[in-house]
């Protein structure tokens, strides 16, 4: 790995390979922790710095994608065309989807894993500190490609985030930029997941066996296995699109003997596990927060692990439930329908475990707990609407309507995003060394909770009444619910600026210094001081310390 | 073991695992491409209809003609379209074959009654030859191939897109008489 031997280098834990192989004219010989200013971030190899970068990046993408969502909602406030031409509206829906999925949710969970896993497992850093730097720094160029694509002739990709051919074969160069962005994001995800899996499997503290890891580590492990398996499939699918567009292949062109439906199969073979890539880490976060604030160990730890694993395995066998309307044989529809319904079983196990964890606990409702409980309630609503959609004959009716939009926003916003908010409030004291304002946090929660439902609940009705998704204009009878949803969306968006204010306020001191373990939680990340020093667990935690935490979690 | 050698062993183990995972990722790219031939084989094996080049010809308007077949209740016969989807071209001919089977041990008189969906498509598909023109009598357990030849009118409107031509088999009146030895 290293080509130069530098005896003066500080071989900090995690700085594998020793000398820096970027050959710069200036001298920075004492390891990464001496770097200041922009160099600290651009050359970052420390898992905490990289985690911070990931989190800020995903927040900025969240705001970007959120502004696009507001563009969509503004247009849909009343029937008729107000602000955008239909072409641009379609670009907004496409980029909103791509940016939120690949730019906001996924990097946020990778960032959390980066920040927290070494702390929770008692490892000095991630397994591959330099690769970690690269996985992060591929993200901003990918985001830039997506943003730039708005300004090229023909505009950005406009066929929806699923990039279905034949539309995606017909767009201008905006589509190529989106394809390259997805390539970069895919490479970044694969490297990130190799790093996370290796860290979890090889670098746990002595005494912490796999079945004694925090649930967050389990969900991160399984999620990243999913990513290693399916991110390359997406890369393959978009590469086929690219060669169909420019190099005369006919994977998806019926003229040359290909089939556009084949793309849907390949895409959803990636796309369905992707759903769980965004959901499982949320389960992990909630499984850390709920036991802490219920002051009880997680109920059914083992069943939680098995449920997570079975969700992951089942996720490979249900992809065609996104395609019930393409004309599959009835036998295939039944197979995918029953497999999909089966996923409700392990998911139900999880929901009941969370409820059982809270049962007779001495609960308190600090902001992280509010978000976690909000998650359990609303994610279950999204799960039920998913169950409705899993029924093939119902889905033939609801396919591509606002019911689907309502469903996946319940699982992605109230699911993944709420868990991320919960995680940020939960670990902010550890990250910044300061306590956030509980009043402000609670306000953020209730504000989000109310306006989220105002935005997305009416979409169920719109979908049931037959409003198709991805349309810039609609018949008059859909006006009222659309107007309500738009008001909700703008208020929800405003509330997220308040979240930004909360975080900055906490970084600047918040309401006072945070103790090392403000929540009295038994996992290892609370054993290091707050704020977490730049280097932690340079010597692994001793077995007694690990054992103490495991006993408190009822794992030993 | 000293701390340094311990770190080295760990590093080596990490690298081994990373290489394994990278190999899995590379294989999964291959899997994505492997789905292409697999898809073709799968569609063929299951008889699933897939996109066809002859229907995607952008130079000449192509009409998708689907053949559907039904048998009236209780009739011991089977009618199968040998090629259920064909491409029609304005001014061109369509020749489709069906397999007709008598599943009973007695001779069977039948007649096939055609219908179109959408109905107006009937105007643009002219039957030059059809097994539905005549009443047919099948010997016991007989299997027979029958043909339909259609002329697509040259003024076929492009927006028609797809047409379903459905045949339903009905028993002939005589059947009833044959089956009753009394008559």
Q: Is the pLDDT of residue B120 over 90?
A: no
Do residues B22 and B100 share a domain? no
Do residues B5 and B94 share a domain? no
Tell me the residue range of the domain where A272 lies.
46-552
**How long a stretch of residues is chain A?**
556
Say if CB A514 and CB A434 are below 8 A apart.
Answer: yes
What pLDDT band is residue B1 in, cutting at 50, 70 and 90? low
Say if CB A308 and CB A283 are below 8 A apart.
Answer: yes
Q: Is the pLDDT of residue A340 over 80?
A: yes
**Which two tokens mark A266?**
């390949």
Distance CA A493, CA A96 (A): 14
In-domain check, residue A41: no
Comparing A28-42, A44-58, A454-468, A517-531, the range with the smallest average pLDDT is A28-42
Say if CB B167 and CB B66 are below 8 A apart.
Answer: no
Comparing A66-80, A154-168, B114-128, the range with the smallest average pLDDT is B114-128
Do residues B72 and B101 share a domain? yes
Note the ipTM here. Answer: 0.88
CATH number (domain holding residue B156): 2.60.370.10
Tell me the residue range of the domain where B14 lies.
1-50
Using an 8 Å CB-CB cutoff, list chain B residues near A269: 32, 35
CB contact under 8 A, A261 and B48: no
In-domain check, residue A247: yes
Do residues B154 and B65 share a domain? yes
Q: Is the pLDDT of residue A447 over 80?
A: yes
Distance CA B103, CA B125 (A): 31
Residues of A annotated as catalytic are: 96, 125, 161, 188-189, 272, 274, 276, 287, 321-322, 347, 350, 469
Average pLDDT over residues A81-104: 96
**Residue-wise pLDDT tens digits, A464-504:** 999 999 999 999 999 999 999 999 999 999 999 999 999 99
Do residues B46 and B78 share a domain? no
Do residues B69 and B126 share a domain? yes
**Residue-wise pLDDT tens digits, A198-242:** 999 999 999 999 999 999 999 999 999 999 999 999 999 999 999
**Which two tokens mark A192?**
């990130």
More confident residue, A18 or A534: A534
CATH number (domain holding residue A375): 1.20.210.10
Which H, E and C letters describe A142-177, residue by residue?
HHHHHHHHHHCCCCECCCCCCCCCCHHHHCCHHHHH
Do residues B40 and B84 share a domain? no
Q: What are phi and psi of A299, to 5 degrees?
A: -75, 130
Do residues B63 and B46 share a domain? no
Do residues B40 and B74 share a domain? no
Domains in chain B, number: 2
Comparing A23-32, A260-269, B31-40, the range with the smallest average pLDDT is A23-32
- In Å, how far is A102's CA from the nearest CA of chain B? 18
Angle at A87 between CA A86 and CA A88, to 5 degrees: 90
Whole-number pLDDT of residue B161: 76
**Residue-wise pLDDT tens digits, A381-434:** 999 999 999 999 999 999 999 999 999 999 999 999 999 999 999 999 999 999
Indicate the average pLDDT of chain A: 92
CA distances from B53 to A338, B66, B94 (A): 34, 16, 16
Distance CA A361, CA A369 (A): 13
**Residue-wise pLDDT tens digits, A348-382:** 999 999 999 999 999 999 999 999 999 999 999 99
Which residues of A have a CB under 8 Å from any CB of B? 13, 16, 127-128, 131, 190, 193-195, 197-198, 201-203, 228-237, 240, 251, 253-262, 265-266, 269, 327-329
Comparing A171-175, A254-258, B32-36, the range with the smallest average pLDDT is A254-258
What pLDDT band is residue B55 in, cutting at 50, 70 and 90? confident
Q: How many CB atoms lie within 10 A of CB B163?
A: 22
In-domain check, residue A6: no
At A52 the three-state DSSP class reads helix
In-domain check, residue A509: yes
**Which two tokens mark A465?**
């009444």
Of A226, A269, A268, which is closest to residue A106 (Cα–Cα)?
A: A226
**Any idea what DSSP says for residue A467?**
P
Comparing A3-12, A282-291, B138-147, the range with the smallest average pLDDT is A3-12
Do residues B111 and B35 share a domain? no
Domains in chain A, number: 1
What pLDDT band is residue A29 in, cutting at 50, 70 and 90? very low
Q: Is the dihedral of CA B16, B22, B25, B26 positive or negative?
A: negative
What pLDDT band is residue A554 in, cutting at 50, 70 and 90? very high
In-domain check, residue A33: no
Whole-number pLDDT of residue B4: 82
Q: A interface mutation test: which of B19, B21, B66 has the most A CBs within 10 A?
A: B21
Which residues of B have a CB under 8 Å from any CB of A? 7, 10-11, 13-14, 17-18, 21-22, 24-29, 31-33, 35-36, 39, 43, 46, 48-53, 55-58
């Amino acid at each position: 790995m290293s080509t130069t031997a530098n005896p003066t280098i500080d071989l900090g834990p995690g700085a594998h390979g020793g000398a820096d192989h970027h050959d710069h004219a200036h001298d920075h010989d004492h390891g990464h922790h001496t770097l200041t200013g922009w160099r600290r971030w651009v050359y970052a190899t420390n898992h905490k710095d990289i985690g911070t970068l990931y989190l800020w990046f995903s927040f900025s993408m969240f705001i970007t994608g959120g502004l696009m969502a507001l563009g969509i909602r503004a247009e849909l406030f009343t029937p008729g065309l107000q602000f955008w031409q239909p072409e641009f509206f379609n670009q907004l829906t496409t980029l909103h989807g791509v940016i939120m999925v690949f730019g906001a949710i996924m990097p946020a969970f990778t960032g959390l894993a980066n920040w927290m896993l070494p702390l929770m497992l008692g490892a000095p850093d991630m397994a591959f500190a330099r690769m970690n730097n690269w996985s992060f720094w591929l993200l901003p160029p990918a985001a830039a490609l997506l943003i730039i694509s708005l300004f090229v002739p023909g505009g950005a990709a406009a066929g929806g985030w699923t990039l279905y051919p034949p539309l995606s074969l017909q767009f201008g160069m905006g589509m190529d930029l989106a394809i390259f962005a997805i390539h970069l994001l895919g490479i970044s995800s694969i490297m990130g997941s190799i790093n996370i899996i290796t860290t979890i499997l090889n670098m746990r503290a002595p005494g912490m066996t796999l079945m004694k890891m925090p649930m967050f580590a389990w969900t991160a492990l399984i999620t990243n296995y999913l990513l290693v398996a399916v991110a390359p499939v997406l890369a393959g699918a978009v590469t086929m699109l690219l060669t169909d567009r420019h190099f005369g292949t006919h994977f998806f062109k019926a003229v040359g003997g290909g089939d556009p439906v084949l793309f849907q199969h390949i895409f959803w073979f990636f796309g369905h596990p992707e759903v769980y890539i965004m959901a499982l880490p949320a389960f992990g976060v909630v499984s850390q927060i709920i036991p802490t604030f219920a002051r009880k160990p997680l109920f059914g730890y083992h069943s939680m692990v098995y449920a997570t694993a079975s969700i992951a395995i089942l996720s490979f066998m249900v992809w065609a439930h996104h395609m019930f309307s393409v004309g599959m044989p009835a036998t295939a529809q039944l197979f995918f329908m029953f497999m999909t319904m089966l996923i409700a079983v392990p998911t139900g196990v999880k929901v009941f475990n969370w409820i059982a964890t809270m049962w007779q606990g001495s609960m308190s409702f600090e902001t992280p707990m509010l978000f976690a409980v909000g998650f359990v309630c609303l994610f279950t609503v999204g799960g039920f609407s998913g169950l409705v959609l899993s029924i093939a004959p119902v889905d033939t009716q609801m396919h591509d309507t606002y019911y689907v939009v309502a469903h996946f926003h319940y699982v992605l916003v109230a699911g993944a995003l709420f868990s991320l908010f919960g995680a940020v409030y939960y670990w902010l004291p550890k990250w910044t060394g300061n306590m956030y304002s509980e009043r402000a946090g609670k306000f953020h929660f209730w504000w989000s909770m109310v306006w989220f439902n105002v935005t997305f609940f009416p979409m169920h009705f719109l979908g049931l009444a037959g409003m198709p998704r991805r349309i810039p204009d609609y018949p008059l009878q859909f006006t009222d619910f659309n107007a309500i949803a738009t008001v909700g969306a703008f208020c929800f968006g405003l509330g997220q600026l308040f979240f930004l204010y909360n975080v900055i306020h906490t970084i600047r001191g918040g309401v006072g210094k945070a103790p090392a373990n403000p929540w009295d939680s038994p996992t290892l990340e609370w054993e290091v001081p707050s704020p977490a020093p730049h280097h932690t667990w340079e010597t692994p935690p001793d077995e007694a310390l690990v054992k103490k935490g495991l006993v408190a979690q009822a794992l030993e | 073991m000293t701390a340094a050698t311990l770190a080295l062993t760990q590093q080596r183990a990490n690298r081994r695992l990373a290489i394994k995972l990278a190999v899995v990722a590379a294989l999964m790219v291959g899997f994505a491409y492997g789905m292409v031939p697999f898809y073709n084989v799968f569609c063929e094996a299951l008889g699933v209809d897939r996109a066809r080049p002859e229907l995607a010809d952008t130079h000449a308007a192509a009409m998708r003609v689907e053949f559907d077949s039904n048998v009236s209740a209780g009739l011991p016969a089977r009618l199968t379209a040998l090629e259920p989807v064909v491409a029609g071209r304005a001014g061109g001919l369509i020749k489709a074959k069906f397999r007709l089977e008598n599943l009973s041990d007695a001779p069977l008189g039948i007649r096939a009654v055609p219908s179109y969906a959408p109905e107006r498509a009937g105007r643009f598909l002219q039957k030059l030859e059809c097994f539905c023109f005549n009443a047919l009598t099948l010997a016991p357990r007989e299997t027979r191939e029958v043909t339909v030849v259609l002329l697509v009118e040259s003024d076929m409107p492009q927006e028609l897109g797809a047409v379903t031509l459905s045949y339903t088999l009905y028993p002939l009146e005589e059947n009833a008489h044959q089956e009753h030895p009394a008559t």
